[in-house]
Structure 1
Amino acid sequence: MNTDDPVTQTKSTSRWVGPRGRRILHTGAWSMVSKASSAANLFLTVPFVLHALGPKLFGVWATLVSLVIFAGFLDFGLGNGTMNLVAAAHGRGEYDEVGYILREARRTLLWLALWLAIAASVALPLVPWHRLLGLPEAMAANCRAAAAAILFTVVFAVPLNLANRVQLGLGRGDRAFRWQALGQLLTMVMVIALAKSGAPLPLLVLAAVATPLLASVVNTWLLWLDPQMRSPAKKRYPAYASHIRREGLLFFVLQLAAALAYSTDLPLISALRGPTDAGTYAIVQRLFSIIPLSLGLIWTPLWPIYRQALATGDHKWVMRTLKLSVVLAVFIALSTGCILALGFGRIASLWVHQPLAVAGALLIGFVVWCTVDAAGTAIAAFLNAASIMRYQVITAAFFAVVCIGLKVWAIGHFNIWIVPWITAATFLFLNLVPTLLLGPRIIALTHSKTY
């Protein structure tokens, strides 16, 4: 039986067990390998870098490495827009269309990377990086070198991330995750080896953020060689490029709002409380990152499969899967968060090989935030696949502005324990609750759209 045929999928996949369910499980299994490799990299490198650099410079290293998250949205959402188009074309069985979409997306992202490289080259010598990181002027050269590693890693990652998004849209996410896993394991080995040899801050930053790109280069090259990914005609298809830019811009605003709300914690703490507090917060944050990393095993393959199901009109499967995913996400996040909070003292001693004084309010705050975030991300996977973007952009932008403003005020008046509580409360009341209240109207809209 041809399980890639949309008609066959629509008739035989009313449940998780079926072509879509098997695809989710297969991709999710390799996603688990990738996330496990990423978790190993996150956790095993910490004690080595902490020992090599000391608490203060470790806080700077953790802050700089966290900024590589910007590579995920500085493609201006074009990767996600491309994935949605590829998934819809694949779901409809229009396989020739995929090559046209890929060529237009690749051309657009290469131009974007060029402009980002120019901007990075201009900003690098002008910004006082050592002051932003709370270090003395004697560290100015090292800070600038470390910042250069971050900026140009982001530039190269923008076009290289396209291969992963296309493979997910085609239901071949397992291929992307294999290379991601290899990149994370190689990164772990490089960082540990350099830390044990006493490498300076810039080199440790470079190893942590640039090594994964080696796997992305190989993955992109293999996708380029795939004859099915080459469009038969060399002429331009501006309609595809326009659609990618239009939907991609909305994804970009959404990702930017999320990055500003979530990924500025360490820079804000470093600037307002000092790099030592930032280092403590980074350790707790990395431990609880197990939860979103684990749930990513579900959301990453589920998003493009939602899109394929919507393209074939299988709304019953989509709604049933959405409800199940929300319940499962909340259960996993809450139970895992409680286990991590209760066992934090012993986990931290085994992990960083030294006692770590952390307020209980900080740990409980991360449990609450991870649970709220899990429910929101489960819903967002469906909304992204359904291209319900303008509503998400409005709520996310409002949430980001309020969240950052409250954090800037609260970090100075309270302590770092307040940060996850602010994130959880603002997201719950400004994003999740309105989405649940408007749920029936949003679902009706998805049923009326053509994908």
Structure 2
Amino acid sequence: MSSGVVERTRRARPPGVHRRRPDRGRRLVSGVATALLSRLAGLVVPIVLVPVTLPYFGNDLYGLWMAVAALAGMAAFADLGLGSGLMTKLAPCYAHGDTVQARRYISSAYLTLSGLALTLTGLLWIFAGAVPWSALFNVSGQVSPEQTRMIALICLTAFALNVPLSLIARVQYAYQQVGRSNVWQTAGSLAALGAVLGVVWADLSPLLVVALSVAAPLLVNLLNTLWFFGRQEPRIRPTPRAVQAHAAVELTRLSGLFFLLTVVISFATNADTLIIAHALGLSAVAGYVVPAKLLSQLGQLVVLVNVPLWPANGEALAQGQVDWVRRTTRRMTVVSVLAAGVPAAVLVAFGEWLFAAWLPVPMGGDRWLLAGLGVWWLLQSALSPRFMVQNAGGVLVPQLVGWGAFLVVSVLGKWYAADRIAVAAVPWVGAVGYALTVVPAALYGYRRALRPHRGPVIERRVVQDCAR
């Protein structure tokens, strides 16, 4: 009887499982290594650009640029969660070699987001004259209404057009091409750096600086998309004929939860700049956004390092390898905390000297502000691997509850802190709110994501014991 059970178990295993199991760890290491190199390039770009563009723009115009960028960041939900839902759905397709279903998901996502991008761009330009841009960003003094309107239109248009083009990174991650995706993203950052330095050196309009900085990554995503679907994976190339109603509905159902979660997280994590702009004015934004931007590179590094866990966990969960998921999550938690904590501690200790030597415009170096930003990113780094498990398993409700509570608590607390205490109190309020709301929800969601996959693991162990 035991031999029959073993034989049926062997037949049930997806083709290629034995070949891919030992490769997953190597792919993950490769993805983490290239993510580090990509983020290093992403870190160099703002380090070079801030001291160049800040005096070139002036505090008010630079603060406006960063405020518009924050608004675009808050609109990250414009992809309706289809990017996240697509990566979750593609991981099992890749694990089982199902190119037909993968092409259906990809075609549905591209068709939906391409139509959405064109619609958003058209509406933006049609109604641009009716939007009170200056009031929206609390602009006064040296920045004209025309400059405000054009910077907003340039940034938001590039963002809208990049919504479907940025799907390529999700597809590459799901198909375990993390290294190639990171190389393309690095090329986008370096292209933007070269273009901006060229415009500043030629002493051209600041509006051209803004335009080139947002257009370069968009162009790189377009080239990456054409190369991937044209040369590397033509079998899953999106076409209108491949769109299937059932696949589209299935993808949309999962993406709807990702959409709600992305809306909440986007507002919760990008509200600081707008809160400070309205509470204290645009001149205070520059003093906050420069150290926040520098430390955010550490946070983005941790996120970028952990994103390869998403499809890897999806593949592992599809094969019932819960032990691998647990072990890898623990290891990546340690890596994430060290990656964010060590540089943050150095910046807190030497930040005042660094800003004085780095920036031609005095910024100060409030250690309480730097420490608060460091703690904020350290908390997010510690939970990032557990979020990747929940995303892979499609367990989003606990995250939605935690982030929703954080949004309410943090916005009210940060507004009070900026107005009544000091700018340095803003990240501390965020860190305390995060610990009280998001952390418990994340720990519960992680356990819930693993629960449905425990049975298959126990069953395989019994089968192995019987085989012995």
TM-score with structure 1 length normalisation?
0.91
Residues 223-256 of structure 1: per-residue CA shift (max 9 Å, x gap): 3314222379935411211122111111111111
Partner of 1:385: 392
Bigger mean CA offset, 143-152 vs 51-60: 51-60
State whether structure 2 residue 158 is matched by structure 1 residue 153. yes
Equivalent residue letter for 2:372: G
Query: After the TM superposition, which of the residue ranges 283-292 and 220-229 deviates more from structure 2?
Result: 220-229
- Residue ranges of structure 2 left out of the alignment (5+ in a row): 1-12, 458-468
**Aligned-residue offset at 1:28:** 2.4
1:168 aligns with 2:173: yes
Contact in 2 for aligned 1:79/1:165 (Cα 8 Å): yes
Using the TM superposition, give the Cα deviation of residue 304 of structure 1 relative to its aligned residue in structure 2, in angstroms.
0.9
Deviation of 1:151 (Å): 1.5
The answer for the alignment partner of 1:180 in structure 2 is 185
- 1:229 pairs with 227, 236, 241, which one? 236
Tell me by how many angstroms 1:19 deviates: 0.6
Tell me, yes or no, if the aligned pair for 2:75 and 2:263 is still in contact at 8 Å.
no
| Structure 2 counterparts to residues 280-319 of structure 1, below 5 A | 280-319=287-326
Judge conservation of contact 2:309–2:388 (CA < 8 Å) in 1: yes
Match of 1:210 in 2: 215
> Aligned equivalents of 2:155 and 2:316: distance in 1?
38
Match of 2:196 in 1: 191
Determine if contact 2:105/2:243 at 8 Å carries over to the other structure. no
Q: CA RMSD in A?
A: 2.4
Describe the shift of the 1:83–1:122 C-alpha distance in structure 2 as closer, same or farther (beyond 3 A): same
Residue 80 in 1 paired to residue 84 in 2? yes
Aligned 8 A contact 2:114 2:164 in 1: yes
1:28 matches 2:32? yes
Count of equivalent residues: 442
Q: Are the structure 2 counterparts of residues 340 and 309 from structure 1 closer, same or farther at C-alpha, using a change threshold of 3 Å?
A: same
Q: Distance in 1 between matches of 2:446 and 2:169?
A: 30
Structure 1 residue 283 displacement after superposition: 0.9
Contact kept, 8 Å, 2:94 with 2:175, in 1: the verdict is: yes
Which residue is 1:19 aligned to? Answer: 23
Q: Structure 1: any 5+ residue segments left out of the alignment?
A: none
Structure whose CA Rg is larger: 2
Counterpart secondary structure, 1:376: helix
Distance in 2 separating the partners of 1:444 and 1:393: 19
Q: 1:42 to 1:66 in 2, by over 3 A?
A: farther
Distance verdict in 2 for CA 1:353–1:142, change over 3 Å: closer
Q: What percent identity do the matched residue pairs reach?
A: 26
Q: Deviations over 1:65-103 (max 9, x none)?
A: 333424643101101111111111111232332222211
Is 1:428–2:432 an aligned residue pair?
A: no
Normalised TM-score (structure 2)? 0.88
Aligned match of 1:42 in 42, 46, 52?
A: 46
Q: For 1:341 and 1:408, how far apart are their aligned partners in 2?
A: 24
Residues 83 and 167, structure 2, Cα contact 8 Å, conserved in 1: yes
Structure 2 CA distance for partners of 1:290 and 1:444, relative to 1, 3 Å: same
- Aligned ranges for residues 316-335 of structure 1 at < 5 Å? 316-335=323-342
Per-residue deviation, residues 325-366 of structure 1 (Å, max 9, x unmatched): 223322332222111110112221332135432322111111
CA contact (8 A) 2:173 2:311 kept: yes
Taking the aligned partners of 2:451 and 2:356, their CA distance within structure 1 comes to 51
What does residue 368 of structure 1 align with?
A: 375
